[in-house]
Structure 1
Amino acid sequence: MRLPLGTDTVDISLPDCDVTVLDRPGGTPVDPTAAAREALDAPHGPPLSTLVDPTDDVTIVVTDVTRATPDGVLVGAMMDRLPVDREQVSILVGLGLHRPMTDAELRDGLGEYADLAVNHDPEATVEVGTVEGVGDDRVPVRVHPLVANADSVLSTGMVEPHQYAGFSGGAKTVVIGAGDGALIGYTHGPDVLSRPGVRLGRIDDNPFRATVDRAGDAVGLDFCLNVTKGPDGILAASAGRPRAVVADLAATAREALSVPLSDTYDAVIGGVGAPKDANLYQTTRAFTYLVLGDHNPVSSGGRVVVPARLGEGAGEGTGETRFYDRLRTADDADALYEAMREGYDPGAQRAFVVARALRDHDLYITNAERPDVVEACPMHAAARVADAVDPGSRVLAVPDALNTLLVEA
């Protein structure tokens, strides 16, 4: 079998094991440019041309390098519909607490619009109001000045399975991507993440998603253009009101990515590939998506094996650093999980959910350029997938673990 590894693939042979390779329903890929234009022609709510005045200053918040969003295509489609001059448009890269994008990455992702782009700085934000959180909480919403001061705020996004929001996209690109530690820390804190509705693939009755959507209202996100993808490429685009866009594309994604399953396996191999396998922070999504989804396919005492490049090591942003510091200083997964239930800094939440999964299952990272980063944590590194799987194991291979929804059969 062949699994993704960086921008390439790796061949895996397990002749002594009983191997099942998962196959998703998938879907028919579409041309992203044509799909974006069609979505703008039939938006959820008023068309873009009527929402923006010719005198408006416009900010478009786009995704960063950790998302495989065709941002240049989406920005171009919106620019063609905006009744403003190019000089009135700013593009803000929604980093959240991730590292800034390089000039080369901006050119690659945004093409002719790269010169309009600014990397978000979570230390330089403006408060635009407060929103209701869970219970009686009120949460401050602070965003980059380019968002706070814009007459019209637009966004791109990728609606794909997300551990906390159910599906990413919609208001999340703006309020998390262009936000500060306050909202990020609250929504990613143990009180919210421990709520039963906060789960992979669920947007209804999800406190995380609901808080993010209310924050989008406070920011004044007027319009978004999002896409979703399947095994072979972009499946659909949707435009207009953020909540409706996410619901629309999440339905498409569920149909393409859901696999009913009842069995469990000694080892589950999760494929990641670029851009997510650039660092440990993003790579561990495969582990938690598999173990903490609707159906956990790993037997008691079983393991998850993930081939990943890890060219950036643990990761270079504030969130990645906090995540790694928590894991590399942990005595064991149980102690780390219990300690983090008391709270943690924004960005460290991925260590919290990884610790939760590590209490029940081992994680092996293979083929990594930085195995030392893995071994510093309560995880295991191996040169090859075959070295991480015991002979005679029942094995499930999930070639695209971040875009597969395992549901109870």
Structure 2
Amino acid sequence: MTLPLGNGEIDVALPDCSVRVARPSGGEAVDPARAARQALAEPHGSRLAEVVDPDDEVAVVVTDVTRATPDDVLLDALLDRIPVERAAVTVVLGLGLHRPMTDDEIASGLGDAADLAINHDPEATVEVGRVHDVPVRVHEAVAEADTVLATGMVEPHQYAGFSGGAKTVVIGAGGEPLIRYTHGPDLLAEPGVRLGRVADNPFRELLDRAGDLAGPDFALNVTHGPAGILGAAAGEPRAVVRALAARGREALSVAVPETYDAVVAGVGAPKDATLYQASRAATYVLLGARNPVRSGGRVVVPARLDEGAGSGTGERRFYERLSTADSAAALYERMREGYEPGAQRAFVLARALRDHDVWITDSETPTLVEECLLHAADGVADAVDPGSDVLVVPDALNTLLVEPDDGG
């Protein structure tokens, strides 16, 4: 079988194991540009021209390099339809606490709109209101804009259920107070905060309430699966997320009645560039609606890790927490008392590591992997015991493992 690694693939053979492959139906791919045009023609709520006035200053918040969103296509569709001069538009790269994008990445990701882009700086934020008495701060260009628009990828998310909608603005272009609160141990412990769940999810509800204060006023999002982009939706952010999450859930769910000794979880670019992002594969498997790993079993993740743990603020905090911990159990208990924004990925990973081992294979930084309470191996076959029952999930970040009666 083949699994993704970076921008390519690797061949994996497990001849001494019993292997099942979990492939979601994947849906049918669409042309992103055509889908975006159709979504803008039939929005959820008001049309774009009714949201943006000709004399408005407009901020468009887009996703960063960690998401495979066709932002160039979505931006072109938005810019073609808003009744303002180009000089009145600022494109804010929604980094959250990730590293700034390079000039080459901006040019590649945004195309003709690259000259309008600025990297978000969480230090350069303005308070626009409060939710749960938590300051909602966003980049000054967003706070000062008359109208805020956003692109986004509605894909499975560990906490929000699915990403996209208001999240692009309030987290991507947001400040540390809201990131600290939403990603803190109290909110993440709420039972409705779960991968693949949008309705009655306190995390998602809080993002949407913050979005009422900060924007977006109008969103153009897509969802994707193994086949590619599956569809687009535009308009009122909550409705956009609901519509695309339903489409994504139908395309990405796989029913798993059995349990396994090991799950091999594929990632690929851009998520496998850093340990921070690649570790999502393990937590998506272990902390989703259906944990298919037997007691004492393991998750194996092939990941290039050409950027190591990652260089952004959140990634550095993630690495510091893991690399200085004596054990996953001790780290989890210590972090239940609180932690700085960005470190939540260490908290969630530690939660999973209390019961299961995680192996990272094929990486460029095996020593770093071992420093972070994980195991490193040269290849997938080296991380799986002979005779194991193995579930292979080729696209772990875009597969929802569910109980048999939950669909699939």
For Structure 1 versus Structure 2, the TM-score category normalised by the shorter chain is over 0.9
RMSD: 0.5
Q: Are 2:366 and 1:371 aligned?
A: yes
Distance 1:232 1:108 in 2: 22
AA aligned opposite 1:20:
R
2:244 counterpart of 1:240? no
Which residue number corresponds to residue 107 of structure 1?
Answer: 107
Task: Note the C-alpha offset of 1:148.
Answer: 0.2
In the other structure, the counterpart of 1:251 is 246
1:311 has 2:306 as partner: yes
Matching residue of 1:26: 26
1:357 aligns with 2:371: no
Between the aligned residues of both structures, percent identity stands at 70
Q: Secondary structure, in 3 states, of the residue corresponding to 1:251?
A: helix
Task: State the one-letter code of the partner of 2:35.
Answer: A
Pairing 1:86-235 to 2, within 5 Å after superposition = 86-132=86-132, 138-235=133-230
Report deviation, 1:50: 1.1
Whether the 8 Å CA contact 2:23–2:399 is kept in 1: the answer is: no
Amino acid at match of 2:48: L
Query: Distance in 1 between the 2:291 and 2:217 partners?
Result: 38
Q: Secondary structure of 2:152's partner?
A: strand
Q: Residue 35 of structure 1 aligns with which residue?
A: 35
CA distance in 2, matches of 1:90, 1:373: 38
Deviation at 1:220, TM superposition (A): 3.5
Aligned counterparts of 1:377 and 1:23: Cα–Cα separation in 2: 30
Q: Which residue of 1 aligns with 2:46?
A: 46
- 1:50 alignment partner AA: E
How many pairs align? 404
Q: Name the amino acid aligned to 1:58.
A: V
Counterparts of 1:46 and 1:344, CA distance in 2: 40
SS in 2 for 1:221: coil
1:209-255 per-position Cα deviation (integer Å, ceiling 9, x unaligned)? 01000000011321000000011100000000000000000000000
Q: Distance in 2 between matches of 1:140 and 1:59?
A: 20
Matches within 5 A, 1:48-67: 48-67=48-67
Alpha-carbon distance in 1 for matches of 2:8, 2:49: 41
Contact 1:262 1:295 in 2 (8 A): no
Distance 1:139 1:353 in 2: 22
Between the aligned partners of 1:78 and 1:166, the Cα distance in structure 2 is 26
Q: Distance in 1 between matches of 2:227 and 2:250?
A: 14
| Counterpart Cα distance in 2 of 1:98 and 1:121 | 10
Greater than 2 Å deviation, 4+ residue runs: none
AA matched with 1:101 = M
Match of 1:16, SS state, is coil
Q: How far apart, in 2, do the equivalents of 1:220 and 1:98 lie?
A: 21
Runs (5+) with no aligned partner, structure 1:
133-137
**Which digits, 9 at most, give the CA deviation of each residue in 1:23-42, with x for residues without a partner?**
21111100000000000000
**CA shift for structure 1 position 294:** 0.5
TM-score, with length taken from structure 2: 0.99
Q: How does 1:285-300 map to 2 (within 5 A)?
A: 285-300=280-295
- Could you tell me how far apart the structure 1 residues matched to 2:370 and 2:230 are? 38
